[in-house]
């Protein structure tokens, strides 16, 4: 009979038989960028996370890179919002300015931009609203313009998070016809309508002013649908497929990894971060252990990389 404890008796043996490893290259930290100078705004529901003006963002990213990071995800918060999200594709918009500054300062660092309209619309929905409902095809053409403006500013990867149909195809066509055929698309293909996004909406000031996102984000009850969404996005030209949130959806991560064999991203979202932080502040859990265990679980499920608000801290806890 096998004695399982034989392979657990020393650190060296445990290391030899370890099936999954978490490395610094697996982690991607999100950043929020605001207009102005020398500005740092704390986000109450996400202790340790803040919004930065471009000058301070560069300092944050420099420290992050020094920890061994190679990629970050960037969200812009414009000064002015309007019905048609004009700020999302302005050549001197907040995210476009941030990307230019980042790529100038850190040419090797991989800049991923979130492509969505919710932070740019006055009503907070992820698209153009007509008769109280989000118009898919009108939204898609704006998203394609926004993605192109990010690529023009120098973004290395664009990441659409809106959940409109056919947006990957539209973005791919607009990038290709403007000589950005080498800019990959990281599609938030499988984004559930989740209450775990609560703190993010404070951070990005993007809560919908009426209704909810149920007509475009996925029903948490569905798994087959995740596969259909992801397959269609790959067909439309997505290079990465994302599952979001992560922890309550690791069955989806595992299923997609097996069935798609495509680069897979898990997004460890704001509510997941906030819960751990709150418990850690109260000393109810050991933050480092809980975070590293959770991130490892996402990798074990099949994620090739993880977007997490804990990324920067986790880099400090990981040996190279
Ligand atoms: C915007 C967007 C959201 C997140 C990333 N991009 C939230 C939403 O749909 O309201 C969530 C991130 C998080 O909770 O960390 N479309």
Average pLDDT over residues 179-190: 98
How far is residue 308's CA from residue 295's CA, in Å, rounded to a whole number? 9
Average pLDDT over residues 280-286: 98
**Residue spans of alpha helices (H) in the chain:** 11-17, 54-66, 94-105, 136-153, 167-176, 198-203, 224-236, 250-260, 270-281, 287-301, 311-317
Residue 150 confidence (pLDDT) above 90: yes
Name all residues whose Cβ lies below 6 A of ligand 1: 114, 116, 118, 126, 161-162, 197, 200-201, 206, 213, 269-270
Give the active site residues: 191, 244
Atom of ligand 1 nearest to the CA of 268: 15
User: Topology of 22-317 in CATH?
Assistant: TIM Barrel (3.20.20)
* Residue ranges of domains in the chain: 22-317
User: What is the whole-number distance in angstroms between the Cα of residue 47 and the centre of ligand 1?
Assistant: 17
Collapsing DSSP to helix, strand or coil, 56 comes out as helix
User: What is the whole-number distance in angstroms between the Cα of residue 40 and the centre of ligand 1?
Assistant: 21
β-sheet bridge partners, residue 270: none
pLDDT in tens, 83-140: 989 999 999 999 999 999 999 999 999 999 999 999 999 999 999 899 889 999 999 9
Nearest CA, atom 2, ligand 1: 161
Rg (CA), the chain: 20
Residue-averaged pLDDT of the chain: 96
How far is residue 153's CA from residue 150's CA, in Å, rounded to a whole number? 5
User: What is the whole-number distance in angstroms between the Cα of residue 11 and the centre of ligand 1?
Assistant: 39
Question: Quick one: pLDDT at residue 320?
Answer: 66
Structure token digits, residue 255: 């299923």
Atom of ligand 1 nearest to the CA of 163: 16
β-sheet bridge partners, residue 113: 74, 158
Atom of ligand 1 nearest to the CA of 207: 10
Contact (Cβ atoms closer than 8 angstroms) between residue 269 and residue 194: yes
């Amino acid at each position: 009979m096998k004695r399982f404890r034989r392979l657990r008796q020393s650190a060296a043996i445990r290391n030899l038989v370890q099936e999954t490893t978490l490395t610094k290259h697996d982690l991607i930290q999100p950043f929020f960028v605001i207009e102005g100078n020398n500005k740092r705004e704390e986000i109450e529901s996400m202790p340790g996370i803040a919004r930065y003006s471009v000058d301070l963002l560069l300092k944050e990213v420099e420290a992050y890179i020094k920890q061994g990071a190679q990629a970050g995800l960037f969200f812009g918060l414009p000064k002015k919002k309007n019905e048609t999200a004009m700020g999302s594709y302005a050549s001197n918009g907040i995210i476009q300015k941030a990307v230019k500054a980042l790529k100038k300062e850190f040419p090797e660092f991989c800049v991923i931009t979130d492509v969505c309209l919710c932070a740019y619309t006055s009503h907070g929905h992820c698209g153009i609203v007509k008769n109280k409902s989000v118009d898919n095809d009108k939204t898609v053409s704006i998203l394609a313009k926004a993605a192109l403006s990010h690529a023009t500013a120098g973004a290395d990867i664009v990441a659409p998070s809106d959940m409109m149909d056919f947006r990957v195809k539209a973005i791919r066509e607009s990038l290709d016809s403007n000589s950005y055929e080498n800019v990959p698309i990281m599609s938030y293909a499988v984004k559930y309508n989740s209450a775990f996004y609560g703190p993010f909406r404070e951070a990005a000031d993007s809560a919908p002013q009426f209704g909810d996102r149920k007509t475009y984000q996925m029903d948490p009850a569905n798994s087959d649908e995740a596969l259909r969404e992801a397959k269609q996005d790959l067909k439309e030209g997505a290079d990465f497929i994302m599952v979001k949130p992560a922890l309550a959806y690791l069955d989806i991560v595992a299923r997609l990894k097996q069935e798609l064999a495509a680069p897979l991203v898990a997004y460890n979202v704001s509510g997941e971060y906030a819960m751990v932080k709150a418990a850690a502040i109260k000393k109810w859990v050991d933050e480092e252990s809980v975070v590293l265990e959770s991130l490892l679980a996402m990798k074990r499920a099949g994620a090739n990389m993880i977007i997490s608000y804990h990324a920067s801290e986790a880099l400090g806890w990981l040996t190279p």
